[in-house]
Amino acid sequence: MIIFQEYIFGEKILITKEFLEDICFITQHDHARVSLDIFLMINSEITQGIEQSEELKYAIRNHDCGWIEYDKIPKTNKSGQIYTFQNMKPGLQNELWLKSVSSSIIPYSALLIAEHFKFLSKNSISRENENDFIKICDSYTKKNYPKLLTDIENKNFSVELGFLKFTDLISLIICREREIVDDLIPSIKMLDNNDLNINIKKVDDSLYQFPSGFFREKQNLVEIPYKMIPAELIRTPRKLKDEYKNARLRYRRIGLFC
């Protein structure tokens, strides 16, 4: 899950955000749905036909499906902290990432998801001393998709992977309603070999500004599904789990304009 709290940018499990005395929880799979919503809003002059790739759309929507079972209830450590990528064991993270890859019913999409997680693993600060995911993932893809591995070198694959990385990152920022750190937003490599630098600003609560012409429409809304739980329940894990199971699903609207 993703927890909207002040955790290190780019590392996630439960997405949470604190509102006064409450915490909002968003599952990883719901965050991935927001990623697809954002992708489908992007101007076709930027996606240049990539938006027609069902394999890419499937990968964006389902890249975190390995977390579905794990995210059914929040999990806390002995210190009363909700588990995040910073405080969970890399072995469990490897398991959930690989489950996302193996759960894909489209082999090409599985390769996109695999390469995306390999990138995250390689660039994770918390994995500097223990990082064998790339080796594990390569072993899995070589065994299960040997005939597709050459696709990784194709330009289309590289461009599609770039959009998966970009939409995943932007969704994470929006779901947590974080300020934008410019040097963490990657440029988009397009099929015509041009690089598009994206300047994004948070201009108000729940409102983000993108460059002119970036989206198909000037004004857009994304809905973020979440559950709100009293923060004090973190100290009582059993009550936290019961409250989470019984909490109703809410929706928060985020405005994106260009």
Contacting residues for 114 by C-beta, under 8 A, at least 6 apart: 101, 137, 140, 141
Q: 230 or 59, which is more confident?
A: 59
177 Rama sector, left if φ>0, alpha if ψ -120 to 50, beta otherwise = left
Query: Which whole number is the average pLDDT over 195-209?
Result: 94
Per DSSP, the three-state class of 100 is helix
Task: Compute the distance between CA of residue 241 and CA of residue 226 in angstroms, rounded to an integer.
Answer: 15
Q: 183 or 16, which is more confident?
A: 183
pTM for this predicted structure:
0.90
Nearest to 214 by CA among 148, 167, 147: 167
Share of the chain above pLDDT 90, in %: 66
- Structure confidence by residue, pLDDT tens digits, 205-215: 899 999 999 99
Asked if the model's pLDDT at residue 154 lies above 90, the reply is yes
Confidence band, pLDDT 50/70/90 cuts, at residue 8 = very low
- Structure confidence by residue, pLDDT tens digits, 33-65: 999 999 999 999 999 999 999 999 999 999 999
pLDDT of residue 20: 52
Q: Are 103 and 62 in contact (CB under 8 A)?
A: yes
Query: Which whole number is the average pLDDT over 199-208?
Result: 94
Q: Are 72 and 246 in contact (CB under 8 A)?
A: no
Domain boundaries, the chain: 29-75+88-223
Mean pLDDT, the chain, as a whole number? 87
pLDDT of residue 10: 33
Measured CA distances, 200 to 69, 93, 174, 176, 204 (Å) = 33, 30, 11, 15, 12
Task: Compute the distance between CA of residue 60 and CA of residue 161 in angstroms, rounded to an integer.
Answer: 9
Residue type, 138: D
Asked if the model's pLDDT at residue 134 lies above 80, the reply is yes
Share of the chain above pLDDT 70, in %: 89
Quickly count: other Cβ atoms within 10 Å of residue 91's Cβ: 11
Q: Are 185 and 169 in contact (CB under 8 A)?
A: yes
Nearest to 32 by CA among 50, 8, 15, 51: 15
Nearest to 47 by CA among 183, 189, 252, 173: 189
